[in-house]
Amino acid sequence: MKYRITADYHTHTRYSHGKGTIEDNVRVARDMGLKSIAIADHGFGHIGFGLKYRDIDKMRNEIQRLNQKYPDIDILLGIESNLVGLDGTIDIPQEYIDKFDIILMGFHKAVMPLSFHDAKELFIKNALSLFLPIDKEHLRQQNTQAMIKAMGRYPIKIITHPGAKIDIDSKMLAKHAAKRGVALEINASHGFMTVEYVKIAMREGVSFVINSDAHHPSRVGDFHRGIEIAMAAGLEPEQIINAELA
Ligand SMILES: [Zn+2]
Ligand SMILES: [Zn+2]
């Protein structure tokens, strides 16, 4: 294999709807020889299993303790925030932004929209466009612009599974992500991440990140599918923020 992946920046725990504890994920990451892991549970607006505001300090303390216990790995408190508004609003209140070491952002369907208008434009229309004659290109551009606005408003480091769940313009997103130093994810769990998407995005000079998106500790550090896609697209390790030459 050409790449070694040194960090997993997208793992879930019981704090959202993962199966393990933070320490379970950390243990597996150490066994895999990773230098860094981020706990990136679903944003506060996720219906049913989003992070709870009251858990954040508890998670921070737990991570601090684990960083002392396992000095050989860097454990980050992250969040997989959700896009909730056309104006780029994500589901992290401003006063919580600084509580995280790393902010990821993605689009998920079971999320509280910012307003009725956002519900209609961002959630309902995208869902209906799968089987109704709605202007798909307009939606695609609208979705992409909302993500670009979010990158301008928040210190987002990674866009998770771009193009999953809603359609986006990969070229346009990649162009703006490159400008802002935001990495696009090659998600090893989602089957729809394609070589084609990576090829389009890489032409814009954007950086990538390969993550497991593990919802169970046993899947932490499982990058297999992501590495396959990256190699098929012809990515070099320098283009992947968490890769080095094997
Ligand atoms: Zn996700
Ligand atoms: Zn996820």
Q: What is the pLDDT of residues 205-219, one digit of tens each?
A: 999 999 999 999 999
How far apart CA 118 and CA 114 sit, in angstroms, is: 6
pTM above 0.85, yes or no: yes
Per-residue pLDDT tens for 54-84?
A: 999 999 999 999 999 999 999 999 999 999 9
Rounded to the nearest integer, the mean pLDDT of the chain is: 95
Residue with tokens 């979010």: 150
Distance 2 CA to ligand 1 centre (A): 27
Per-residue pLDDT tens for 88-116?
A: 999 999 999 999 999 999 999 999 999 99
Domain with residue 212: its CATH number is 3.20.20.140
All residues with CB under 5 Å from ion ligand 2: 80, 213
- pLDDT reported for residue 1: 59
135 burial level (CB within 10 Å; 0-12, 13-18, 19+) = exposed
Provide the residue range defining the domain that includes 223.
3-245
How far apart CA 222 and CA 28 sit, in angstroms, is: 10
**Number of domains observed in the structure of the chain:** 1
* Crossing angle for the helix pair 170-180 and 136-153, to the nearest 10 degrees: 10
Per-residue pLDDT tens for 123-154?
A: 999 999 888 888 889 999 999 999 999 999 99
Place 22 in a pLDDT band, splitting at 50, 70 and 90: very high
Angle at 27 between CA 23 and CA 59, to 5 degrees: 20
Distance 14 CA to ligand 2 centre (A): 12
Task: Check whether 166 has a pLDDT greater than 90.
Answer: no
Distance 50 CA to ligand 2 centre (A): 11
Report the helix count and the strand count for the chain, using DSSP H and E: 8, 9
Distance 146 CA to ligand 1 centre (A): 17
